[in-house]
Chain A
Amino acid sequence: MRRGAVIVAIAALALGLLAFVPWIADGYQLSLAIGILNYAVLATAWTLFSGPTRYVSLATVAFFGIGAYTVAVLGEVLAWPVVLLIALGTGSVVALVVGFATLRLSGVYFVIFTFGLAELIRQVVTWFEVNVTRTLGRYVFVDISQEQIYWQLLGLTALVFGAGYAIRRSRLGLALRVIGDDEVVARHLGIGTTAAKVALFTFSAGFMTLCGAIMAPRWTYIDPAIAFNPVVSFQVLIMALLGGAHRLYGPLLGVIPLTLLFEFLLARFPNHFSILIGLAFMAIVYAIPRGITGLVEQASARLRRGAAP
């Protein structure tokens, strides 16, 4: 109990300090900070589901894009909170459909379905825009400043961590750990495995959708190719795995260095970017499969064993 209180206090303090960033930072630094928060939300939301269940989701950008595109379509028409709610609703419905179709079955079906999901939604949206609305590509005119984007993302980051912390301590969190360990045993212990997986997948997708919606005003122009860019799913996966997906704070350890590194690579080698991150990712998969947190835990376990008589 004491330890929980300390963690909450530290998190609240960090949050309070980070809220001041827009007054100190210049435009470039603020934009970097927004990038870091963006990926912090996405990678942590990814870990909420994929960490304990070990079901690899490749569909992050499908939900992110749904959020962003909702803003592009409705941003000017409706009040901002309403737009966010509609985005959240749409993303959740898609997640429910995907979840119920695939999560009853073995994990590989889920991976395959999520692998093509962003491309599917991109093509359907493109088709709809070309044939029905006849406006491929939209300008986002929403009166929201960079500072406001930052604060919203900071709030969302706090929410995703708070939710993750609460889930870990809840029955649902325990259920997911059991499922990740042995799904057959989980069922015989009375766990409705499909319901638990679908619930958490939808929850995680909701955060991704909101993140996309909040980020949308950063672009003045959005088309399906921008909103559903597969590289985003890939980057989120790399960051989460580098940090370590079995801890809630793990992805954060991957997000900060990799956002900076990707920023640098994209500026320096724009044409070779996807080759470089592909190689970086393979290096992580081969060399540190359990991520930075895994390395640290291994090292500390070795130290403890060494210190013991």
Chain B
Amino acid sequence: MILLEATLAGLVLGGMYALVALGLNLQYGVARIMNLAYGEGVIVAAFAAWWLYTAGGINPIFGLALILPAAFAVNWLIYRLALTPLVRRAKLREQLEVDSILATFGLLFVVQGLMLVAFGGAYYSYGFLSVPVVIADVTIAANRLLALGFALVLGLALYLALTRTRIGTAVRAVAVDPVAAGLVAIDVRQVAAASFALGGALVAAGGVLVSMFLTFNANIGVVFTMKALIVVIMGGVGNLLGCLVAGLILGLTETFVATWVDPGLTLAATYAIFLAILLVRPQGLFGRAAR
């Protein structure tokens, strides 16, 4: 019984990680921006959802409809204003990687500082649909199921958009080879900016969904960044299915560790997975060896 409950909880958490990591995959895999302020997007969106719900009485599902476009716009601006100069300056891909790591590391402290000023260091949460639902003898909160459902819908929509549409094909082309994509008349800069913004919107969606059932504070963005990075590496950069599988593995592992070992060791479990991946399959679960 506990096993089933933990598995279900792990799947919900894993679905969130997969969704959040999908966004990072777009930002790193397509726009080539290694965004260390990524997890702050989760927290900002969570606070936005909290604020809409407690101050405006807007439930987080409607909140999603407001927050997603806003996050897209904000991330678009960040890319245009803050990251385009770095893209222009970088001669090599490695150079852009280092520059974007540094710039977004600075951004992390700015965003975190702003949230600390606005909300302090306390933990926040709100009660939305926290009614128990019983499925096959297992009890789970309705908000968790709802979150998982939305994560699946968003993930599926992204998958279809990338594989079935013209724009999606362009995005995948840029991910594989930006130079060649430019040669076949794809506007690489526009695609990169759009992918970065879309990644930002996905992470915001993750934040809103997570806020329905987890407590959060201004400091824990780093942990989400870390987990998203590990999921992307485990699944393989640019691999959407890998992202989903890796996210679920991470969510399940964490929930099991929290249930049977100790909740204080979830990050340690995450790192143990990371270490194992680095030592055994650094190219990711589904990637091919480079050398």
Contacts and interface: CB of A to CB of B under 8 A. Distances in A.
Contacts of B265: 123-124, 127
Which of A105, A111, A241, A279 gathers the greatest number of chain B CB atoms within 10 Å? A111
Interface in B79-136: 82, 85-86, 89, 94, 97-99, 101-103, 105-114, 116-117
Nearest to A58: B105
Given A271-B116, A275-B117, A56 B102 contact: yes
Contacts of B223: 116, 119
A112 interface: yes
Contacts of B112: 274, 278
Interface stretch (A7-15, A203-211, A280-288, A298-306): A280-288
B116 A274 contact: yes
A277 interface: yes
A163 interface: no
Contact of A237 (B94, B105, B114, B271): B105
A54 B98 CA distance: 9
Contact size range, A = 35 or more
Interface string A110-141: 01110110011001101100110000000000
B278 to A, nearest CB: 5
Query: Which among A54, A105, A109, A112 has the greatest number of chain B C-beta atoms within 10 A?
Result: A112
Contacts of A111: 34, 101
B271 A120 contact: yes
A47 B161 CA distance: 45
A115 B34 CA distance: 12
Contact of A273 (B102, B113, B275, B278): B113
A101 interface: yes
A282 B108 CA distance: 10
A109 B278 contact: yes
A80 interface: no
Nearest to B261: A127
A278 B106 contact: yes
A230 B101 CA distance: 16
11 contacts: A115-B226, A119-B222, A273-B113, A274-B116, A278-B109, A278-B111, A278-B112, A279-B106, A282-B107, A285-B103, A289-B89
Interface of A: 54, 56, 58, 101-102, 104-105, 107-109, 111-113, 115-116, 119-120, 123-124, 126-127, 130-131, 230-231, 234, 237, 241, 271-279, 281-282, 285-286, 289
